[in-house]
Structure 1
Amino acid sequence: MISHPIKHKLRQLLLTICGVLSLSVLAGQALVDATKIAEISRDSLVKIFSVQPENGIHAYKVLYLTTGADGQPDTASGLVTFPDVVSDRGLLAYQHGTTDGPEDVPSRLNAEALLSYAYAGFGYIVTAADYIGMGDSRGLHPYLHAETEASAGIDLLLAARTLAGQLEFSLPDQIFVSGYSQGGHAAMAMARAIQERPTDDLWLTAAAPMSGPYDISGTMRDLVLFSDRSYLFPSYIVYFILGYQEVYGDIFENLEQIFKAPYVQMIDRFRTGAIGLSELNDQLKAAMLLNERSLIPRRMLNEAYLMPVLTDSLHPLNLALRDNDTYRWSPEMPMRLYYCMADEQVAFENSLIAEAYMRDAGAADVQALDLVSSADHGECVLPAVLSSIAFFNSFPITTSSETASNAELHIYPNPATDVISFGTEASAIRSLTIFNTYGQIIENFINLNASEINIAHLPNGQYFLRGTSKEGPFTGRFLVVE
């Protein structure tokens, strides 16, 4: 959660900065101010990613109105990234993962901004909220607080709509939500809130939470508070306990009540902003090895506090944890839960529990997918993001401008039995999706790099293609016969 393996590449490239343009609107609207802070070409994005993005990007730091954890109005910040070409791909909310502190956020062009750029590089308008208590927002960040994760994300989406209009940028019909780690939790919370709060005129096309702690009150609680397993990120426990105290006010009376003496001072320094999350984590681990001779997190908590949490389901901490589980609902939109089984930070069982509950609750299209079983939390980031892009790209563009501008792809032979070929060079096709006549996705490709595909496995019938090439979007259709 604290770092991604691609962070160093970001530090090198994030920065063709050009902060000149500033846009403001009247008070009372979601958008308060927007300043252009970065432009990155497609060629520069190619140097970062293992796939070929379709376009470059330009990014804006946005100030917008939302509601704080105390229910009072707050001015929050976030990043809104636009493709540098006209695109109807969609509006996409990317919810960021755990970062080191209030300044380590997308609007400050941190490592998480790069993941926003990944989506925008495929034609999406991307929002990335800094969250309450981070960036320009006031107070302590209420870590893993579902309600404010959702509201910060939704209000930034509304602000982005206003900004797109001011920039005379085509506003797509589709809306997608994704996020990794803490952002997976936040993406799930945001998707649920949008479905349950249709008054904002936001209708989700699909969602892809990734490696998130959706089952905080069960899977994550047992792992970090009651397991005898070592856990290398004890700072996360401190973070959510402090955050829930900020929101609910009844988690503990003072730090000494819950934490053993050797840990109180360093935790208080983090609470007051004197040190960041990474430094706190290092200090906690060193102190635990010295005092507990282990990295079992529960040993830094007082048993007198911990035992009632174990035995009393109505303990304030248990109630807070359950209040911030994000999987107990039935998504009406298609959803993919991407994870990697070797994740050492967020147990993969979170995704399986969410999938099982949602299917039992009647969700028609929810799938949990193990992408790379051997990948740890950091190694899972890029496969998850690229899988979510492929998933989102599979949905047909529904704006009227797409119908007018798409070229027809030449497909031969047509009808076909085993192979179809395209009337374009192999390297020209960047993405390709096959649909049946019911609009269901049959196959999806990113960076196809081939001038033909095998269709021998497809049943007889008519199929449709949608994709993008060097020349722009295209459509096509073909018939499979024996």
Structure 2
Amino acid sequence: MKKYTKLVSWWFLICVLLLGSCQQDDSDNNVTPEPDGSELFVSADVKSTISKTILQGYALTAGYGRFLPAIKYDVTFYKFTYKTTYKDNPIEVSGLLAIPQNTPNPPAIVSAQHGTMFADADAPSNFPASFTGFELFAAAGYITLIPDFIGYGVSQNTFHPYYDQKYSALTVVDMLKAAKWYLKDANIAANNNLFLVGYSEGGYVTMAAQKEIETNPAHKLTLTAVAAGAGGYDLTGMLSGIATTTTYVNPSFLAFIIQAYNTTYDWKRPLTDFFQEPYATNIPTLFDGTKEIDAINQGLTTSPAALFNPTFYANLQNPTGEQALKKALTDNSFLDWVPKSPTRLYHGTADESVFYSTSESTYNRFKAAGATNVEFFPIEGGMHRTSIEPMMTNALPWIESLNK
């Protein structure tokens, strides 16, 4: 009997151990892998390798002559496709990845954000058919990422969420994470420095990405420095200027942001709520992705009073009018955050499209809130299209001084 009892006891012990082992294995199999960027990566397709001589020609043609001494490397360009989030769902988006060849040391990474664009053909991933100017950072020796943004490239069937802070930030952050994973997987060396650069809408997107990275440590990204130019950081201030000016030379920007908010936030309001005819009827065709800024401006009017529905225009100046729009503009401005990373702001003092005062007021607010690493560089006499080159030629030596 004792022998039988011992035998049963041993079998019981073995079963318990086996059961525990199986349960442990099942538990291990159910553990969610730590996100490393691979979950965002879709593809990286080589487009071409372009010599520094040809890139110097691009620079001269596009008006970046002062950038020529910095162009030292041939560059391999990739169409880079990755995933981000839009309206709580994953969406595939794209951009341009540019890798300098034969650098003496592993290069730093620069994420460069382009200005407002309207034509699908202008998406950075269409390079060399398109050219933003930021490709030249790769020729200067930096691994350069230029996101198309939601609404361009492979996501061109989605209306671009223009001046939406959340989607602007995530489009950059998710490309960075996917690209960092890809570079490691492809054994392409990079150093630990990370810079953000952007101009116009890209200046705004750059600041949105900076805020997201600095306030959300879960991204596991650390910024070295940020250079942002002529972005509409203070959208409430921009609204005040638009509501009181008699002439605005780029009405395409005004129609774009209202159409974007109406779509992004599912307001589903008829365009006649915002615009007078014939503009309300024509705007969907003007923003169909086939037209450049000048053609869109010609299809509108430079008089805000003639462009906007009179009731809507009056409500822009009425404190109780158009509350949904004003709340969206407030939420998408940078009113309660201060940069931590070294940051330079740039703006042309004669900017006719994005008012100089928006950078000035943003800088003053940052300093008043205790920012110690923010500098402001007014570009004297600079207009919107003429100030990007002075910004780039100032920002590059600064970036190089920090790339240690």
**Common fold, TM-score beyond 0.5?**
yes
In structure 2, C-alpha distance between the alignment counterparts of 1:36 and 1:368, rounded to whole Å? 38
In structure 2, C-alpha distance between the alignment counterparts of 1:64 and 1:189, rounded to whole Å? 19
> Aligned match of 2:330 in 322, 326, 329?
322
TM-superposition CA deviations, 1:396-443 (whole Å, max 9, x none): 42xxxxxxxxxxxxxxxxxxxxxxxxxxxxxxxxxxxxxxxxxxxxxx
Question: What's the counterpart of residue 101 of structure 2?
Answer: 84
In structure 1, C-alpha distance between the alignment counterparts of 2:113 and 2:37, rounded to whole Å? 25
Residue pairs, 1:278-427, within 5 angstroms: 278-285=294-301, 295-312=302-319, 315-326=323-334, 328-371=336-379, 373-397=380-404
Q: Is the 8 A contact 2:114 2:132 kept in 1?
A: no
> Aligned match of 1:178 in 197, 201, 206?
197
In structure 1, C-alpha distance between the alignment counterparts of 2:94 and 2:370, rounded to whole Å? 36
Larger RCO, structure (CA 8 Å, separation 6 or more) = 2
In structure 2, C-alpha distance between the alignment counterparts of 1:76 and 1:386, rounded to whole Å? 30
SS in 1 for 2:397: helix
TM-superposition CA deviations, 1:316-374 (whole Å, max 9, x none): 11011111113541111110001111111111111111111111111111011013x12
Q: Is the 8 A contact 1:40 1:56 kept in 2?
A: yes
> Aligned match of 1:71 in 88, 101, 107?
88
Work out whether 1:154 is the aligned partner of 2:173: yes
Work out whether 1:33 is the aligned partner of 2:43: yes
Higher helix share: 2
Q: Is the 8 A contact 2:345 2:359 kept in 1?
A: yes
Q: Greater Rg, structure 1 or structure 2?
A: 2
Work out whether 1:231 is the aligned partner of 2:248: yes
1:205, CA displacement in angstroms? 0.7
Note closer, same or farther for the CA distance 1:80–1:261 as it changes in structure 2 (3 Å cut).
same
Work out whether 1:264 is the aligned partner of 2:280: yes
**In structure 1, what residue type is equivalent to 2:100?**
P
Query: Could you tell me the TM-score, scaled by structure 2's length?
Result: 0.84
**In structure 2, what residue type is equivalent to 1:243?**
A
Higher strand share: 1
Note closer, same or farther for the CA distance 1:124–1:132 as it changes in structure 2 (3 Å cut).
same
> Aligned match of 1:142 in 161, 164, 181?
161
Question: What's the counterpart of residue 406 of structure 1?
Answer: none
1:169, CA displacement in angstroms? 1.2
Question: What's the counterpart of residue 20 of structure 2?
Answer: none
Q: Is the 8 A contact 2:240 2:317 kept in 1?
A: no
SS in 1 for 2:161: coil
Query: Could you tell me the TM-score, scaled by structure 1's length?
Result: 0.70
In structure 1, C-alpha distance between the alignment counterparts of 2:390 and 2:294, rounded to whole Å? 25
Work out whether 1:118 is the aligned partner of 2:126: no
Deviating beyond 4 angstroms after TM superposition, the runs of 4 or more aligned structure 1 residues are: 271-277
Q: Is the 8 A contact 1:188 1:327 kept in 2?
A: no
1:152, CA displacement in angstroms? 0.5
In structure 2, C-alpha distance between the alignment counterparts of 1:76 and 1:281, rounded to whole Å? 28
1:307, CA displacement in angstroms? 2.1
TM-superposition CA deviations, 1:30-83 (whole Å, max 9, x none): 110111113221222333243312212111101101111x22110000011111
Q: Is the 8 A contact 1:100 1:278 kept in 2?
A: no
Note closer, same or farther for the CA distance 1:235–1:111 as it changes in structure 2 (3 Å cut).
farther
In structure 2, C-alpha distance between the alignment counterparts of 1:112 and 1:179, rounded to whole Å? 17
In structure 2, C-alpha distance between the alignment counterparts of 1:389 and 1:327, rounded to whole Å? 28
Question: What's the counterpart of residue 452 of structure 1?
Answer: none
Q: Is the 8 A contact 1:81 1:116 kept in 2?
A: no
Q: Is the 8 A contact 2:195 2:226 kept in 1?
A: yes
SS in 1 for 2:133: helix
Q: How many equivalent residue pairs?
A: 358
In structure 2, C-alpha distance between the alignment counterparts of 1:365 and 1:27, rounded to whole Å? 29
Q: Sequence identity, in percent?
A: 28
Structure 2 gap segments, 5+ residues each: 1-35, 60-64
SS in 2 for 1:363: coil
**307-316 or 358-367, larger mean C-alpha shift:** 307-316
Question: What's the counterpart of residue 454 of structure 1?
Answer: none
Q: Is the 8 A contact 1:55 1:123 kept in 2?
A: yes
Q: Is the 8 A contact 1:104 1:110 kept in 2?
A: no
Structure 1 gap segments, 5+ residues each: 1-25, 286-294, 398-482
Note closer, same or farther for the CA distance 1:40–1:326 as it changes in structure 2 (3 Å cut).
farther
